[in-house]
Amino acid sequence: MNNAIETRLAELGLALPDSPAPQANYVPFVTVGKLVFVSGQVSMDANGFIKGVLGDTMSVEEGAAAARLCGLSLLAQAKAACGGDLSKLKRVVKLTGFVNSTKEFGDQPKVVNGCSDLLVEVLGDAGRHSRSAVSAGALPFGVAVEIEGIFELH
């Protein structure tokens, strides 16, 4: 179904990835009332996981690019939660970003901005959200970034 969000994604030259099935005993999203809680989406692209440690093997810019891909995966899961119709999405409420980083690294917010900036690019003011950006000593599969989100439906 084509709508303003799908149109904006196309204008930006972006495509949502397939919503991956969980690899463990959890569900990709839970809807409670008008809120959709999307499980953490890890940094990955068509070639697989984007691995790295910020402050060691990855730059802030590389981390932000990985976080941007997490944002696309979050939107893909939100689309699945909306039955394939992104026009049902009202806004992004909150993100929690986990950054695989050294204990000396302090730019987690700049990394998670990759996701935040994408959501605002795609959704405009509806993409603005509250957020946490925290350091993690390790993330599943050695990925650089994992981000979970809460979305509101119309």
Number of domains in the chain: 1
Mean pLDDT for the chain overall:
96
Q: Are 100 and 142 in contact (CB under 8 A)?
A: yes
| CA dihedral of residues 95, 98, 104, 108 (deg, nearest 10) | -30
Contact 51, 138 (CB under 8 A): no
Radius of gyration (Cα) for the chain, nearest Å? 15
Question: Using CA of residue 99, residue 104, residue 106, residue 110, what is the dihedral sign?
Answer: negative
The pTM for the full model equals 0.96
Give the domain range for residue 119: 4-17+24-153
Describe the crossing of helices 4-11 and 108-123 by its angle, rounded to 10 degrees.
120
User: Do 140 and 104 form a contact (C-beta atoms < 8 A)?
Assistant: no
Report how far apart, in Å, the C-alpha atoms of 152 and of each of 78, 120, 122 are. 10, 15, 16
Determine the pLDDT at residue 24.
86
Residue 67's CATH number: 3.30.1330.40
Banded model confidence at residue 1, pLDDT cuts 50, 70, 90: very low
CA dist 127 and 92 (Å) reads 5
Return the percentage of the chain with pLDDT > 90, whole number. 94
How far is 95 from 74, CA to CA, in rounded Å?
10
